[in-house]
Structure 1
């Protein structure tokens, strides 16, 4: 049995347990020894972070070859046009190469806890929430994608990773799920029997 911890990472909390600079870390919210994050969320991003004490499970969740879809609710500056959304769906060219196509749609409203500090409506009078689903995890990828199409990200909340969701978790809260260990097929020997 593997244990998976679903954590709602607050804004301006690091995705690690220690920090030499004294910034907020996971240790302020989770007191479970021997667990590690499966991937990360930037300091200025919020939402679902998965942790486990099972190294193989962490690898299956976080390694790009497994292409776990990650769902983000993204508040962007301005109102993206249909062409901007189409560009995100087709993949955009970033400095580190073209992104895989994303699934994207406008959200009319979102149900999220307030963030402190909130996005300033005087500096950003027009904003739009998008749902963006990607299957890769480059550094600050979602922010770079929305900026590329002319709509910088103001707030970013990861709401799901694969089948796991943020549902029912307030910022700083976590819950543990027990997973059945995957069944491994025995490997066949590549050596042939000598006769």
Structure 2
């Protein structure tokens, strides 16, 4: 299982603390992982500046995908006047694309971590002004420092976008944001989105993600 998080400015993810919550949370002993579990977990984070957008991507075994902006079980999304957001569940080839997208992000993060000068000398939660901006933690200690990449099934990649009654064809567009090398700074997804706008025949529907602070309604009214 691979968890990769972005960065809230000035509040980098504490990978070690998150790993404890996932494996040995003292508040929920019934969910603590047993010592003989077959699970292997990696937690990675980008620790400096803005990394990517507010989206959440959960891909499972190349079959299922949850994609959207909702913070799961976040107080702002569960209150009486919740934050309005959009998330979708999907199955099929689109889940494979999400895994491949995650592979590219993990490859970049792992490569940058190896190049860090003072990596390992500061806690994950300390904001950094140096080029060091990657944190990766793993569990249990016996597993490798970096996670294996997901290998998509060849037969799944050869499937058509929609092949059963009720299926909806989808185009997957991923933006790597600030994750790029000095040799490749462009995001082809920007050109793809522009092309999709240009090809629209009747309407365009967008879910715009707000990067600002949570807006608190006055008098309980939005």
Higher relative CO (Cα under 8 Å, sequence separation at least 6) belongs to: 1
- Is the helix fraction higher in 1 or 2? 2
TM-score (norm 1): 0.26
TM-score (norm 2): 0.24
- Is the strand fraction higher in 1 or 2? 1
